[in-house]
Amino acid sequence: MNDALWYKDAIIYQLHVKAFLDSNADGIGDFRGLTDKLDYLQDLGITALWLLPMYPSPFKDDGYDISDYLDIHKHYGTLKDFQEFLDEAHRRNLRVITELVINHTSDQHPWFQDARRSPSSPYRDYYVWSDSDQKYSGTRIIFTDTERSNWSWDPDAKAYYWHRFFSHQPDLNFDHPRVREEVIDIMKFWLDKGVDGLRVDAVPYLVEREGTSCENLPETHEVLKEIRRAVDAGYPDRMLLAEANQWPADVRPYFANGDEFHMAFHFPLMPRIFMAIKKEDRHPITDILRQTPPIPPNCQWALFLRNHDELTLEMVTADERDYLYREYCTDPRMKINIGIRRRLASLMDNDRRKIELLNSLLFTMPGTPILYYGDELGMGDNIYLGDRNGVRTPMQWTGDRNAGFSRAETAQLYLPLNVDPVFGYQALNVEAQLRVPNSLLKWTKRILTVRKKHRTFGRGTLEFLNPSNRAILAYVRKFEGETLLIVNNLASTAQPVELDLRRFIGTDVIELLGETKFPRVAEHPYQLSLTPYGYFWFQLASSHGARR
Ligand code: NOJ
């Protein structure tokens, strides 16, 4: 547990406490329930958990609207329940990452309630106020479906307040030193409890300046470096993960010289994976990774296919966005803001081959993979639920009442269970998949076991091969004397490929999932045939030496 770069070898599982297991029959998952399911998570093979916001909140943005940073929402239990969960997770060598949502609070937070009452409130300057709604007019709106402006009028304060997200989420004013101190105190409160990492929400938007887009400003980076200094000073083995939905060149500064964030999500890569498989062409992926600048040695990309939000299409061109909407949104209900609110399995038409292929990419490209809860089973979504709730339904444990998630009245569940004939819990659940040797869940377990045997996946270099068949995405990963070769077929038809592996002449080729020996590399091009959406994970090993 004491490698400071632990996040480079991690496999992160993202979950919402409310969605996992309800221990007290109120229809909402809680920490005691989650603690009971740690054995499941350990057995699955993940090494870290990322919990969505768990703090007191009016829940107008699923907990990203925080009204008290220093407590647990009563639906989820108590601080004691949280501590027990954390200790139990650590006992199983599982790390825990929680949320640090600091760009904004809920309008119900006592700071805002006090601030709006009077200009002389000590909390007034915790927020960003204006007499006019015309300031910072160069700033885009993020929640385009619901918000018309980044300013809202507060009748009590008799002033406009600034908000980058929902109007009930006033932005904090990071020009105020007390705000920065408060944020660091909040962070220390959770780090002192023992959390291993923090996903810092919405980091590009902390500071506002006239005449700019109010995104990625140097002043914002200063604040973030101050936060990092506080982590390094007291908690050197902890990790900060940036949520910065930006182009690679704009995300790169969040790593700075290895002294800002340890990790950042690779947002632009994700939609291009979905594009590549539809187009049956590797170029969307290779192009964006070629445009991705190198990062400092102590830093790492966080890779994901799906999460609790819409599949965001902010980081693609207008043409690419049209293409993805056309291909993946057969019903207008699937769209939200600038994105698509669907889960992985439904996006892949529940085609097991495609689901495996996308996971093959997730687990072999450079970075740390993040698995969204339920995707290990191929859970579906419900596009008839509001906002992004369709991808946040209860975990499907069994075919029993309430999917084994809760003993509450079915009508009391925080969201309805999926009862679709294909994706419904009666057919698709953990218990059933544990019984079937070839289930997606069993496959996921196997693939995680293999991934964990090779640190090269998390730490190695990346080099693309350039076969003439554009449907084939092949790359070499190298780390400390180990060489891996990954070959993916993005097409729905069988494909041949010839790879130039001359530099590896004489090496053995071992397929890692079956430990099968393939023909040795020779002078002539290395020929492979791939099944539709097929993939190979090979180790290239000197025929005399040891395999690892
Ligand atoms: C990013 C979170 O991922 C999203 O769920 C939330 O709505 C916004 N931040 C606003 O807090």
Name residue 100's beta-bridge partners: 200
CA of 64 to the centre of ligand 1 (A): 6
Nearest CA to ligand 1 atom 7: 61
Helices (H), 198-315: 218-234, 248-251, 269-279, 283-290
The pair of structure tokens assigned to 179 is: 């705000």
Q: How far apart are CA 67 and CA 445, in angstroms?
A: 38
The reported pLDDT for the residue numbered 413 is 98
- Is the CB of 201 inside a 6 Å radius of any atom of ligand 1? yes
| Residue of 201, 309, 375, 381 with catalytic role | 201
Task: Find the angle CA(207)-CA(210)-CA(213) to the nearest 5 degrees.
Answer: 65
- Is the CB of 61 inside a 6 Å radius of any atom of ligand 1? yes
The reported pLDDT for the residue numbered 542 is 86
pLDDT digits (tens, 9 = 90+) for 402-431: 999 999 999 999 999 999 999 999 999 999
| Residue of 107, 243, 309, 310 with catalytic role | 243
Q: What are phi and psi of 10, to 5 degrees?
A: -75, 155
Q: With residue 509 as reference, give the H or E element that holds it.
A: strand 507-511
The reported pLDDT for the residue numbered 2 is 57
One digit per residue, the tens of pLDDT, for the chain of length 548 reads 459 999 999 999 999 999 999 999 999 999 999 999 999 999 999 999 999 999 999 999 999 999 999 999 999 999 999 999 999 999 999 999 999 999 999 999 999 999 999 999 999 999 999 999 999 999 999 999 999 999 999 999 999 999 999 999 999 999 999 999 999 999 999 999 999 999 999 999 999 999 999 999 999 999 999 999 999 999 999 999 999 999 999 999 999 999 999 999 999 999 999 999 999 999 999 999 999 999 999 999 999 999 999 999 999 999 999 999 999 999 999 999 999 999 999 999 999 999 999 999 999 999 999 999 999 999 999 999 999 999 999 999 999 999 999 999 999 999 999 999 999 999 999 999 999 999 999 999 999 999 999 999 999 999 999 999 999 999 999 999 999 999 999 999 999 999 999 999 999 999 999 999 999 999 999 999 999 999 999 999 987 543 43
The reported pLDDT for the residue numbered 227 is 98
Helix (H, G, I), strand (E, B) or coil at 294: coil
- Is the CB of 304 inside a 6 Å radius of any atom of ligand 1? no
CA of 62 to the centre of ligand 1 (A): 9
The reported pLDDT for the residue numbered 367 is 98
The reported pLDDT for the residue numbered 243 is 98
Q: Render 114-130 in DSSP notation, one character per residue.
A: HHHH-TT-TTGGGB-EE
The reported pLDDT for the residue numbered 544 is 58
Q: Is 175 a catalytic residue?
A: no
Q: CA-CA distances (angstroms) from residue 233 to 98, 188, 190, 192, 259?
A: 20, 11, 15, 13, 12
Q: Is 125 a catalytic residue?
A: no
The pair of structure tokens assigned to 225 is: 């470096």
CA of 243 to the centre of ligand 1 (A): 9
- The set of residues, in sequence order, having a beta carbon less than 8 Å from that of 515 and lying 6+ positions away, is none
Nearest CA to ligand 1 atom 6: 64
Answer whether 0.75 is exceeded by the pTM.
yes
- The set of residues, in sequence order, having a beta carbon less than 8 Å from that of 525 and lying 6+ positions away, is 498, 499, 500, 501
CA of 193 to the centre of ligand 1 (A): 24
